[in-house]
Amino acid sequence: MHGNLVYVANSGAGDANYTGFRLGFFGQLFPIPGSTVTLAANAAPGDVLFDGTGTKLVGTEVGTSVIDSFTVGFGGRLTAAPGSPFKAQGLGPFGSEFRPTDPDQLFVSNAHNVGAGTGTISAFTDSFNGTLTPVAGSPFADDQTAPCWVEITHDGRFLFTVNTGSGEISRYQIAPGGALTLLGSTPVAATGGVGAVDARLSPDGRFLYVDESRIGKVGAFAVNGGGLTELATSPTSLPAGATPAGIAVN
């Protein structure tokens, strides 16, 4: 979402697409005619997001291991970047985020690389026309399994990714040019953390909340620069039977 412009990724056998809406004053969604971008039947889009200016949009295709990149026109419709879709630097590109302090830098997790400890994070430069160029040294290893969602601190200095397969949160420092340095990994305590998925920072950046979907709980970590410490009260249980897939923090 950017302003009153909303794009969603629809994933379904033979009917995958990105579609745009306008958000009404009372929360209604109004489809934008001609906004739908049809994807391959096996695309399985995992994420779609705007950059900080609302002039670029990127989507990841988990099933085909490509990244779609667009510029956003005045009417909210999309124009594919030259060369889009771009081949991902690993299997199953999934979670994505633009750097809050530099909307021309994009980071994407590669969740489906084969084998334990083979997860990576890719870093790209997004040009004025949406062309994606890998940052030197990309992709960057995280020594964990199945990195899914990506979250970047509000000051743009550190990146966290939740490894669903190994139950650890990898922590990186981000250089000015977008290169990543792995600082280490912090375990998600409950049941080994396996099955944790999405993560979001609090508005003040002091806490990271983690969706522990497999056990229906939410973990909470104190953030100190690029360091994480799980709170003594973490995780917090959700209502019985809950199987959350994502998390948002206001």
> Which contacts (CB < 8 Å, 24+ apart) does range 44-48 have?
44/11, 44/16, 45/9, 45/10, 45/11, 45/16, 45/18, 46/9, 46/11, 46/92, 46/93, 46/94, 46/95, 46/111, 47/9, 47/94, 47/95, 47/96, 48/7, 48/8, 48/9, 48/18
Measured over the CA atoms of residue 126, residue 129, residue 132 and residue 133, the dihedral's sign is negative
CA–CA distance, 59 with 80 (Å, rounded to integer) = 11
> Would you state the pLDDT for residue 15?
85
Would you kindly state where each structural domain of the chain is located, as residue ranges?
5-197
> Would you state the pLDDT for residue 216?
87
Per-residue pLDDT reduced to its tens digit, 224-246: 999 999 999 999 888 888 888 88
> Would you state the pLDDT for residue 242?
82
- Write out the two tokens for 210: 């983690």
Q: In the CATH scheme, what is the homologous superfamily, with its name and number, of domain 5-197? A: YVTN repeat-like/Quinoprotein amine dehydrogenase (2.130.10.10)
Burial class from Cβ neighbours inside 10 Å (0-12, 13-18, 19+) for residue 238 reads middle
Per-residue pLDDT reduced to its tens digit, 51-110: 999 999 999 999 999 999 999 998 999 999 999 999 999 999 999 999 999 999 999 999
pTM assigned to the model = 0.94
Q: In a 3-state reduction of DSSP, which class is residue 42?
A: coil
Per-residue pLDDT reduced to its tens digit, 186-217: 999 877 778 888 899 999 999 999 998 888 88
> Would you state the pLDDT for residue 194?
80
